[in-house]
Amino acid sequence: MKFLDQAKVYVRSGDGGAGCVSFRREKFIEFGGPDGGDGGRGGDVVVECASGLNTLIDFRYQQHFKAKIGMHGMGKNRAGGRGADALLKVPEGTQIFDEDNETLLADLKQTGERVVIAKGGNGGFGNAHFTTSTNRAPRRANPGQPGIERTLILRLKLIADAGLVGLPNAGKSTMLAAVSAARPKIADYPFTTLHPNLGVARVDEREFVLADIPGLIEGAHEGHGLGDRFLGHVERCGALIHLVDVTGDHAGTAYRIIRGELAAYGGGLADKPEIVALSKVDAVDEEALKLQRERLKRAMRSYGPALAADTRRAAPFELSAVSGRGVPEVLRAALKLVDAAKAAAAPPDARKPSLTLEGHTS
């Protein structure tokens, strides 16, 4: 299935049904009178967060959604039926923006969340509604109100606990494939990963969701390479795992490039706690590894105050996704940061549950 993380759709809620002008005329009935029913309400446009979806690909083939109009009123005081809603099912983490692409209308994070984007028009009143003491036979009825038409921008931000960032060919996809059941494309050329991938990593009987996004290059915030449009998928992550290729030219420069792109993107990514690790350490000798390690340590110290305590360690992690060296240590450190982020985001009541002793709460 092709990954699609942004879509533009056109929606319109249903018009309300018209009221009815009708009079009761029955044989042997002495008194008749107006009996026109009201029109039914038009259907709403509803967006629902559904399970089992991880892309917006469905909206590539259908961009127009219209709710049904309300039924018109009928004689014998029969009101029209309500129009059927138009339901848009989206994956978890979908944001809904107005046509200006800046006004956030809704952010659906959990399965089952629903939001009414466009309300249907109200049905019109029938002539029975206008009966008064002086106007016993009104011959007027209201038309239904028109529905709402609008353009929406759907933007998907994957919900993951930790995200993998780094330059192209830093070993992010290999790392994801080694620690989870995900099978991303892996090759020895840049930009092998063209869209984000999710995997469930497991360490010490614990599991967390790991996201791999396409590699960044210098100037990604200006649109170079694949740009930084995929960085939105790690905005919700509790921690970042920053992989630096030990076989590259200069580990410190590679680290600074990614840190610069995170800061240029904004969204709080530069302030997220991160785990820094040298990858592919089994591909170089000890002397080259020592040189790259010192370069990376100097670069990390320059960003130390803005990072978590675990990031300001004396030396970066070292791992090889192929041999498994250092991988469990990186996962444990990432899980620790994820737990800390979840604890900080939890409401105060959830952090410190109250204790009830002999009828007293403390």
Hey, what domains does the chain have and what are their CATH numbers? 6-156 (2.70.210.12), 162-345 (3.40.50.300)
Residue 216 has, within 13 A of its CA and on its CB side, a CA count of 30
Distance of alpha carbon 249 from alpha carbon 88, whole angstroms:
48
Tell me the pLDDT tens digit for each residue of 50-90.
988 888 988 989 999 999 999 999 999 999 999 999 999 99
Give the three-class secondary structure for 164: strand
**Strand (E) positions, the chain?**
6-12, 23-24, 33-34, 45-49, 64-66, 86-90, 94-97, 104-108, 114-118, 149-156, 162-165, 197-203, 206-212, 239-245, 274-279, 317-318, 356-357, 360-361
- Tokens 């590699």 belong to which residue? 215
- DSSP 8-state code for residue 230: G
The secondary element (H helix, E strand) that includes residue 124 is none
180, 210 Cβ separation under 8 angstroms: yes
Distance of alpha carbon 4 from alpha carbon 196, whole angstroms:
10
Considering only residues 29 and 139, tell me which one the structure prediction assigns the higher pLDDT: 139
pLDDT, mean of residues 24-44 = 89
Considering only residues 244 and 2, tell me which one the structure prediction assigns the higher pLDDT: 244
Distance of alpha carbon 34 from alpha carbon 289, whole angstroms:
92
The predicted pLDDT at position 165 comes to: 92
Distance of alpha carbon 288 from alpha carbon 320, whole angstroms:
15
Tell me the pLDDT tens digit for each residue of 129-138.
999 989 988 9
Task: Give pTM, 2 decimals.
Answer: 0.76
CA–CA distances in Å: residue 198 to residues 53, 163, 302, 315:
12, 9, 31, 28
115, 108 Cβ separation under 8 angstroms: yes
- DSSP 8-state code for residue 80: P
Distance of alpha carbon 262 from alpha carbon 231, whole angstroms:
8
The secondary element (H helix, E strand) that includes residue 37 is none
Considering only residues 246 and 312, tell me which one the structure prediction assigns the higher pLDDT: 246
Residue 112 tokens read as 């089952």
| pLDDT higher than threshold 60 for residue 355 | no
pLDDT grade, residue 10 (50/70/90)?
Answer: very high
The predicted pLDDT at position 357 comes to: 41
Distance of alpha carbon 162 from alpha carbon 181, whole angstroms:
16
| pLDDT higher than threshold 70 for residue 347 | no
The predicted pLDDT at position 2 comes to: 62
pLDDT grade, residue 197 (50/70/90)?
Answer: confident
pLDDT, mean of residues 257-272 = 88
The predicted pLDDT at position 157 comes to: 87
- The mean pLDDT value of the chain amounts to 86
The predicted pLDDT at position 349 comes to: 57
Burial 155-189 (b: 16+ CB within 10 A, else e): bbbbbbbbbbbbbbbbbbbbbbbbbbebebeeeee
